[in-house]
Amino acid sequence: MRKRVGVLISGRGSNLQALIEACKAPDYPAEIVLVLSNVPGAAGLSHAEAAYIQTLTINHKDFATREAFDAALDAALIQARVELLCNAGFMRLHTAGFVARWLNRHLNIHPSLLPAFTGLHTHKRVIEAGVTLSGCTVHIVRPEMDEGPIVAQAAIPVLPSDTAETLAARVLAAEHRLYPHALALVASGAVRIEGERVVRTTQEGDQSPLFSPPVSGAL
């Protein structure tokens, strides 16, 4: 049986679209049954509507507390019989109670190689720090922002000519490949969560190192 997935968005929904495309494959182990936004008219809702996926808007401004808002989210997800939850550009921090109710069934994607560069303005901070590799991470949600067991990562070289905008574009392209991959790993049971680590149940992959800048073949 395919896992029933809910996706939370706040904006344009480009990662949502990548997940929708992945779910079209008949052997993909998950299906999106609900897309929920906290922002009325969020552009990403149109992606779900075009794919005939149920959408719902729950405006966080209509609630006096974060707890009340999260309770409304939780009720909608339960009603849709959601089994796995994906944040895809959802710009709200969850309460500890909500995280506990979805413990180890809740994924998020962040545009850095966590645990480095949590929070906002990631690409600008990466360039200012002078690192040569950045990337993106899919992790299991915990109450603290951008923390939790890491499911999968993709590394992107930081070029000398990069601006925050050019780096962001390349990282986003990697996100669109990484998130469907990570969701498939979780939905299929290819990984499991043990404490604060994600453990692979499948064979190890390529163990070759990635160098940035590239190492010359003569060395």
The CATH number of the domain holding residue 143 is 3.40.50.170
Mind listing the pLDDT tens digit for each residue in 149-198?
A: 999 999 999 999 999 999 999 999 999 999 999 999 999 999 999 989 99
Specify the pTM: 0.94
The count of residues in the chain is 219
Q: Do residue 133 and residue 187 come from a single domain?
A: yes
Q: Do residue 46 and residue 113 come from a single domain?
A: no
Q: Do residue 68 and residue 115 come from a single domain?
A: no
Q: Answer with the one of 102, 129, 144 that is the final residue of a domain.
A: 102
Residue 168 CB-density burial (10 A; 0-12 exposed, 13-18 middle, 19+ buried) = middle
How many separate domains does the chain show? Answer: 2
With a cut of 60, say whether residue 218 has pLDDT above it.
no
Q: Do residue 73 and residue 113 come from a single domain?
A: no
Nearest to 14 by CA among 57, 64, 63, 48: 48
Active site residues: 110
Q: Do residue 52 and residue 126 come from a single domain?
A: no
Residues facing residue 102 across a β-bridge: none
In a domain, 209, yes or no: no
Domain that holds residue 180: 108-201
Give dist(CA 123, CA 16) in Å, integer: 21
